[in-house]
Amino acid sequence: MIALRGILFVVALVLCSTCGGLSTQQVQNRIDSEKALRDLDRFCTDLPKPNGFRLTGKRLQGNSDTWFIVHLFQADTQWVSVEAFMSEYFERLQWQKTEIVRDRGDLIPRGRVEFRDGKRFVTLDHVAFDDANFAIGCGADR
């Protein structure tokens, strides 16, 4: 189930980044209009990030079971350093690392790691978008 959710997230993130989805302002308006989304956005915003992470956008995803906000970042940082930074942070909080995908040898290295604490989860993805090379997703089961 966790692996399937991860695959669906990556597919949705790619589709959302390439289609005429919600504008940044529409995403922010939606976040501002719902307390659960505001809380999740604040949680994601407050996560520590490696130096040099520059926020380039936000995306909303979800279904009847899950809220999910994705923050997109541009950074001149290697995946292994970012993964180690985030893993160290969540290990200190005793969150469970539930999913790891390493570079598969593609031309553009990609990776994914997911951390979970009860109903909340955080994903870190190495992506290859025009405006972002990292995505941090914060979700909560409803």
Least confident of 59-63, 67-71, 74-78: 59-63
Above 70 in pLDDT, residue 18?
Answer: no
With cut-offs at 50, 70 and 90, classify the pLDDT of residue 70: very high
Residue with tokens 């160290």: 88
Contacts 24+ apart (CB under 8 A), 117-122: 117/93, 120/43, 122/44, 122/47, 122/86, 122/90, 122/95
Please give the DSSP secondary-structure letter assigned to residue 141.
E
Least confident of 17-21, 34-38, 65-69, 127-131: 17-21
| H or E segment and range at residue 121 | strand 120-126
Please give the DSSP secondary-structure letter assigned to residue 133.
S
With cut-offs at 50, 70 and 90, classify the pLDDT of residue 106: low
Above 60 in pLDDT, residue 114?
Answer: yes
